[in-house]
């Protein structure tokens, strides 16, 4: 049975409650223990949770160490904005198309989970045409019955002019956008790195992820309410 308004309000009370209720497996280790958010994760989710329709904030740029779950948080954030009807059409942008496709496929697997379908059945269902055939559920595009669509875009492909019918994207997520293809200066004969050129290249940020959308700047000292897992609609 779908969730009612009170249950959704409880679920969406704060981002940690939302994530624990729907995607607990992404927030725990192999023993089932919760992996606590760091202050940078909390700042990111405060920013994401403040997003509203029709308003454009400053972008959020996350430069996190490898293993810091930047891609997982970017993927979950994309779903959260669609679930809460804050954004309708997203681009997930990576250095190469294959990377972007992989991230969008991960999001597709998240959308098809049972817990998400319990609270957001329209978001978990594929958009279909009048003949009942799936409309936009493939490797590089996911389009849901709720009206939320996400496209995979590689910087190595031509994306100019991409749109969804008459809609233009209102969310851009940049993830893995430079890194492995950036050349490094060759070593000298003694094994030491060559001197940097007078005009150095842009700094490597292969661990960075940028989220460009609409919201308010996150507060400098975030505070979090006590988190409780919302009850399932089937238990009400």
CB 91, CB 140: distance < 8 Å: no
pLDDT at position 143 over 50: yes
pLDDT digits (tens, 9 = 90+) for 99-127: 999 999 999 999 999 999 999 999 999 88
**Is the per-residue pLDDT at 224 higher than 60?**
no
State the DSSP string of 183-224: --PPB-TTSSBPPPPSSPPPPP-TTEEEEESS--PPPSS---
Instruction: For residues 142 and 79, give the distance between their C-alpha atoms in angstroms, rounded to a whole number.
Output: 11
pLDDT at 6 over 80: yes
pLDDT digits (tens, 9 = 90+) for 17-61: 999 999 999 999 999 999 999 999 999 999 999 999 989 988 999
Judge whether 126 and 137 are in contact, CB under 8 Å.
yes
pLDDT greater at residue 195 or residue 154 = 154
Q: What is the pTM of this model?
A: 0.74
Give the largest Cα separation in the chain, rounded: 72
- Alpha helices by DSSP H, 86-203: 97-111, 114-119, 121-124
Domain boundaries of the chain, sorted by first residue = 9-181+204-220
Q: What's the pLDDT score for residue 176?
A: 87
pLDDT value of residue 128: 74
Rounded to a whole number of angstroms, the CA Rg of the chain reads 20
Residues 213, 171: contact at Cβ < 8 Å?
A: yes
- Report which of 56, 87, 54 is spatially closest to residue 164, judged by C-alpha positions: 87
The pLDDT tens digits for 155-206 are 988 666 565 666 789 999 999 887 655 444 455 454 444 444 444 444 433 3
Are 181 and 46 within 8 A, CB to CB? no
Model confidence over 69-98: pLDDT tens digits? 999 999 999 999 999 999 999 999 999 999
Torsion angles phi and psi, residue 161, rounded to 5 = 90, -5
Q: Count the neighbouring beta carbons within 10 Å of the beta carbon of residue 34.
A: 12
pLDDT tops 60 at residue 152: yes
Q: Are 9 and 59 in contact (CB under 8 A)?
A: no
Pairing of the two strands 149-154 and 89-94: parallel
Candidates 142, 107, 103, 110; CA nearest to 126 is 142
């Amino acid at each position: 049975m779908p969730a009612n308004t009170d249950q959704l309000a409880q679920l969406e009370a704060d981002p940690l409650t939302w994530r624990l209720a729907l995607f607990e497996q992404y927030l725990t280790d192999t023993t089932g223990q919760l992996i606590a958010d760091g202050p940078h994760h909390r700042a990111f989710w405060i920013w994401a949770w403040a997003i509203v329709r029709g308003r454009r904030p400053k972008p959020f740029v996350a430069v996190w160490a490898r293993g810091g779950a930047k891609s997982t948080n970017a993927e979950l954030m994309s779903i959260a904005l669609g679930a809460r009807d804050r954004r309708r059409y997203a681009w997930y942008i990576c250095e190469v198309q294959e990377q972007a496709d992989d991230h969008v496929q991960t999001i597709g697997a998240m959308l098809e989970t049972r817990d998400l379908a319990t609270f957001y059945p329209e978001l978990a269902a594929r958009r279909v045409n009048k003949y009942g055939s799936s409309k936009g559920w493939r490797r590089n595009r996911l389009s849901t019955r709720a009206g939320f669509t996400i496209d995979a875009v590689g910087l190595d492909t031509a994306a100019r002019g991409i749109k969804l019918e008459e809609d233009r994207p209102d969310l851009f997520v940049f993830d893995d956008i430079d890194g492995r293809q950036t050349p490094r200066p060759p070593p000298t004969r003694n094994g030491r790195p060559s001197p940097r050129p007078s005009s150095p290249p842009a700094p490597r940020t292969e661990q960075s992820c940028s989220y460009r959308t609409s919201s308010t700047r996150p507060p400098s000292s975030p505070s979090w309410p006590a988190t409780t897992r919302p009850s399932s609609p089937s238990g009400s």
